[in-house]
């Protein structure tokens, strides 16, 4: 229960930060990516602030022998760069540049009821489910004979 409540509060805080900083506005994000047009540096400040908080937060948290609501820290173990990582990053970047949304701001943007968000989020979820299905590979129990 503590873990779920902690995740909910963290998500609400993250969403509030995105909303307050204006990162739910796709024009802001696309303005940041428009280096040779009407460049908007706001996203750089938001990213820099997030990096600063994360740097100090990690130093503080890893002083403890374990997290508050878990038995151990759960950290990624892979450090290699493979085609799947590069492909995912490319798809993410192209989608972000074209639409101006990534998952966090899109979910936070649902609270505004923007029509583009109401289209983007279901499409994003469908894409996530499709990627999950593709990465699972073929399963023997999917072939059933009538």
Q: What is the pLDDT along the chain (146 residues), one digit of tens a residue?
A: 788 888 899 888 888 888 888 888 888 888 888 888 888 898 899 889 989 999 999 999 999 999 888 888 888 888 899 988 898 899 888 888 888 888 888 888 888 888 888 888 998 899 889 888 888 876 544 544 44
Res 139: pLDDT: 58
Res 62: pLDDT: 92
Res 141: pLDDT: 47
DSSP state of 126: H
How far from 107 is each of 5, 26, 54, 141, 143, CA to CA, in Å? Answer: 18, 13, 21, 34, 36
Structure tokens at 143: 């072939």
Q: Decide: residue 146, CB within 10 A, 0-12 exposed, 13-18 middle, 19+ buried.
A: exposed
Res 143: pLDDT: 47
Res 138: pLDDT: 67
Res 60: pLDDT: 92
For the chain, the domain total comes to 1
pTM: 0.66
DSSP string computed for 28-54: HHHHHH-TTSS--THHHHHHHHHHHHH
How far from 83 is each of 21, 77, 80, 87, 100, CA to CA, in Å? Answer: 34, 17, 10, 6, 24
Q: Which domain holds residue 27?
A: 2-142
């Amino acid at each position: 229960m503590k873990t779920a409540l902690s995740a909910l509060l963290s998500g609400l805080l993250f969403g509030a930060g995105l909303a307050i900083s204006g990162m739910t506005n796709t024009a802001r994000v696309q303005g940041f990516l428009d280096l040779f047009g009407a460049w908007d540096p706001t996203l750089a400040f938001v990213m820099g602030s997030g990096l600063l908080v994360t740097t100090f937060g990690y130093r503080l948290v890893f002083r403890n022998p374990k997290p508050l609501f878990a038995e151990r820290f759960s950290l990624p173990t892979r450090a290699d760069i493979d085609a799947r990582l590069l492909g995912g990053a490319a798809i993410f970047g192209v989608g972000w540049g074209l639409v101006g949304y990534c998952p966090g701001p899109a979910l936070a943007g649902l609270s505004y009821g923007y029509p583009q968000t109401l289209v983007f989020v279901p499409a994003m979820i469908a894409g996530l489910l499709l990627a999950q299905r593709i990465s699972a590979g073929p399963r023997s129990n999917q072939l059933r004979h009538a």
